[in-house]
Amino acid sequence: MPRWSPRRLLFSPHIASSSWEDLCIGYRGREHPGLSKAALLPQSSLAVLVDFRSFHVALFFLVLVVLLMAGFLHVDVEMFTPLLRIKAQDSSRDSTPVTNIMFLKTHKTASSTMLNILYRFSESHNLSVALPKDSMFHLGYPWLFVARYVEGMEQNGPQDHHFNVMCNHLRFNFPEVQKVMPNDTFYLSILRNPVSQLESSFIYYKRYSPAFQKVKTLDQFLADPWKYYNVSVGLKNAYARNNMWFDFGFDNNAQAEEGYVRRCLSEVERQFQLVLIADYFDESMVLLRRRLRWQLDDVVSFKLNLRSQRTISHLNPESQERAKRWCDLDWQLYQHFNRTFWAQLHAEVSPRQLREELAQLRARRHELTTLCLQDPEPKNTTQIKDQNMLPYQSGDAEILGYNLRQGLDNATLHICQRMAMPELQYMAHLYALQFPDKPPKDIPLPKK
């Protein structure tokens, strides 16, 4: 008999199969149990006889039908993608979760909430975290990161001690990060619309950044930024211009020349598997959960490091455009990875799947909010009852926190405390667990 090909399978009148292998590779003249003469159709007939007892055979023909319909009838394949993704989804659910993770914690980008997610996952899975050395609360920021900023990495010792998770503030320096993290590390970061990011930085770092100290409002600063911004001041002004670009290790005062920007964006794409978007945080969690193969509760969170409404300013339209021009490198960085984020998300899930997974995420967050918190609305420092839950205060920002519900059992209290725990307290907690022989970190708690 002649050799069969996938194309011949579509149109030949003499098709019968008892195995997936025969369909994929083709008939090679061997005996087929169950093939009777009655199963063979006349030469003039156009038929495909398939044993649908095999799910894979049915799925194979479904794919072929979809491709034919798309090619000849111009049918939108998107309507079939949920069916075609079933097998991939089932296999991903059984996969081992990713546990080696480097998160570049950018500033004023919902990164404190992301940090809490990573801290919780690390603690619950008994993973090691690359924490700041001694009394430090960041990994050498705003200087470029070097491995010795990590507790446990000796300056002149062997550089082969690796950690599972790295997520504290640092200025990215890939060769030095590689000394701390394993070769199979998953690299991710998060970005925010630069207009909103700059507004938040202005309030948070107003007393620290020289460029912000001499003005009352961000509108005033943006009207004539070079009047207040001095490049020679150095790293202290990193918060005042292209701060996210700076966090990725680049020069925040560089000219936004097309070739330079393109090279830098390509470098980020090579080094980072995923860049999330804070403006679409829930959608980011859907994609993150899938990429890391985590459970739903691993990516559910409460918003941390939130400011009170009275400390949030709203820029007029003219100032918003000025902010985009002033932070031109950040703007191009954000636009590029906003596009790649949505492309990756749409490639991963159908619109219906996205709606369903967003609903699951939000429902679980609401459930845990009701379970854990006395009031879903965050509180200022005068309203927070437990001093250990007081968030760090900076600049002119009023950072809010939470009160836990009373009477929780120990297991529930453990979960709720960690979801609502401020960043510095959680870092100190993990530091004490990993380095019990070291002096504990002294947390600068605000006075009530």
Between the CA of residue 198 and those of 211, 219, 340, what are the distances in Å?
12, 11, 22
SS3 399: strand
Query: Who contacts 345 (Cβ-Cβ below 8 Å, separation ≥6)?
Result: 283, 286, 287, 354
Mean pLDDT of the chain: 84
Both tokens assigned to 16: 């019968």
Domain boundaries, the chain: 6-84, 101-434
One-letter amino acid for residue 287 of the chain: L
Residue numbers of the chain with a pLDDT score lower than 70: 1-94, 155-160, 447-448
The Cα 68–Cα 73 span in angstroms is: 8
pTM: 0.79
Which CB contacts under 8 angstroms, 24+ apart, belong to 4-9?
6/64, 9/48
Question: Using omega within 30 degrees of 0 as the cis cutoff, is the peptide bond preceding 142 cis?
Answer: yes
pLDDT of residue 161: 74
Place of tokens 């920007």: 261
167-183 pLDDT tens trace? 999 999 999 999 999 99
Asked if the 101-434 domain carries CATH number 3.40.50, the reply is yes
The Cα 76–Cα 74 span in angstroms is: 6
pLDDT of residue 431: 98
What stretches of 270-319 adopt beta strand conformation (E)? 274-277
The Cα 317–Cα 380 span in angstroms is: 30
Label residues 331-366 b or e (16+ Cβ within 10 Å = b): bbbbebbbeebeebbeebbbeebbeebeeebeeebe
pLDDT of residue 247: 99
pLDDT of residue 84: 39
The Cα 72–Cα 377 span in angstroms is: 55
Give the DSSP H/E element, type plus range, for residue 414: helix 410-420
Both tokens assigned to 400: 């809010």
